[in-house]
Amino acid sequence: MTREERTRWFLHDRFGMFIHWGLYAIPARGEWVKSNERITTEAYQPYFEEFNPIRYNPREWAKAAKEAGMKYAVLTTKHHDGFCLFDSKLTAYKATNTPAGRDLVREYVDAFRAEGLAVGFYYSIIDWHHPDYPAVGNHPMRENEEYLAKPVNFDNYLDYMHGQVRELLTDYGKIDIMWFDYSFDDMTGEKWRATELINMMRGIQPHIVIDNRLGGNIKKREPEVYAGDFYSPEQIIPPGGIVNEAGEQIPWEACITLNGHWGYHATDKEYKSPKQVVRALVECVSKNGNLLLNVGPDAKGEIPRESLDILAEVGKWMRRNGDSVYGCGLADRPKPEWGRYTQNGSKLYAHILDRGIGPVYFQGLKGKVRKARLLADGAELKVEVPWMAGHYGDTATGAFISLPITLPDDADTV
């Protein structure tokens, strides 16, 4: 399969749920807490012995994602702390050995598939727990000098890492996305035996869409086999979208948190508004990208109320305006001053983000608008040229569309 064939559904669906969940939900200070606070493996162990998400019901998570208009999800199967949410045969450091006593990944896959969403796995190639992962970069998982001096056999770790990826792609049915995280400095590409890894993966699930964090350069005309299927900007929407060396659009997905943390953080209440989320999604699609919006469930297994409320509001907008997102992408015209265009074939969607006064001006569309409708309620919109327009030289090629004075509360898409 070509990258274009693999990513066709991904570029159509545009909007996914990222889920960062693990032992770090107990300290509730984000997923990097072990590293940031130099917590030793010994001091982190009580979280393992205590982990028991009694209210974990991934069907509720899947319904919240579906109601928000999301079409796929990506769950952390193992984050940097090395704790596995799945029943790996290669380690005892897994959810089935905690009081939870269950394969949390299997329940996630079953629940999201049951709600009709595509299913993805996040997998950290960095591992602060495995004895043969070295202390490199800013990953001080070796807590003391004696531990730092201990020699490691990195190939043993790579056998473990490859083996777990094989487990994930063999034991849980059809998986749609593999979201690796992350290469850094010289720890990239073949340092992970990435070609061998990708070839193994494609042998098991040839259709699977893979991110670009194994390394390589996805922007090359001929990228490495492990450079991935999509570019993965984080906490930012790339100003001009993402193109390769030849100027060709390449698939990308911006991953963004709802507050300031990926993993559950009990006191971070700085959440983005539903309107900010909708605008971020529209901006991504207008630049031919996807949005992977994160939730960080708590130690009991529940998505924070604030996140659920935002997702519900976004879902209201998506139910009335989703046609301007799904199957849409970069428009064949420059960004207008009042907002963003998205386009699907001959249908042009105008997202009026900064309305101004009077009719909205559409540069270059004179005589080209067959009909205009407010997407939220289907109301007809008048295409008309205001009598003063003749006096403005730059309107010779434009069209003016008049909008109702009061738009339906969530309708700003024409």
Using CB under 6 A, list all residues that contact ligand JFZ.
31-32, 181-182, 184, 234, 255, 262
> Is the distance from CB of 326 to CB of 14 less than 8 angstroms?
yes
Q: Return the DSSP state at 334.
A: P
Nearer residue to ligand JFZ within complex by CB, 188 or 205: 188
* CB-nearest residue to ligand JFZ: 182
We find the least distance from the C-beta atom of residue 57 to ligand JFZ, in angstroms, to be: 23
Measured from the CB atom, the residue of 242 and 403 that comes closer to ligand JFZ is: 242
Q: Bridge-partner residues for 400, per DSSP? A: 361
Q: How many CB atoms lie within 10 A of CB 266?
A: 14
Supply φ then ψ for residue 263, to 5 degrees.
Answer: -80, 160
Residue 329 backbone dihedrals phi, psi, to 5 degrees? -165, -155
When the beta carbons of 147 and 184 are compared against ligand JFZ, the nearer one is: 184
- Give whichever of 87 and 234 is closer to ligand JFZ, judged by the CB atom: 234
CB of 339 to ligand JFZ, least distance (A): 28
Question: What DSSP string runs through 293-333?
Answer: EEE---TTS---HHHHHHHHHHHHHHHHHGGGTTT-B--SS
Least distance in angstroms from the C-beta of 118 to ligand JFZ:
18
Q: Which is nearer to ligand JFZ, 133 or 349 (CB)?
A: 133
Q: Smallest distance from the beta carbon of 327 to ligand JFZ, in angstroms? A: 26
To the nearest whole angstrom, how small is the minimum distance from the Cβ of residue 35 to ligand JFZ?
Answer: 9
Q: How far apart are CA 247 and CA 221, in angstroms?
A: 9
CB neighbour class for 389 (10 Å; exposed up to 12, middle 13-18, buried from 19): middle
Are 352 and 338 spatial neighbours (Cβ–Cβ below 8 Å)? yes
Residue 32 or 326 having the CB closest to ligand JFZ: 32
Single-letter amino acid code for the residue at 250: I
CB of 292 vs ligand JFZ, minimal distance in Å: 9
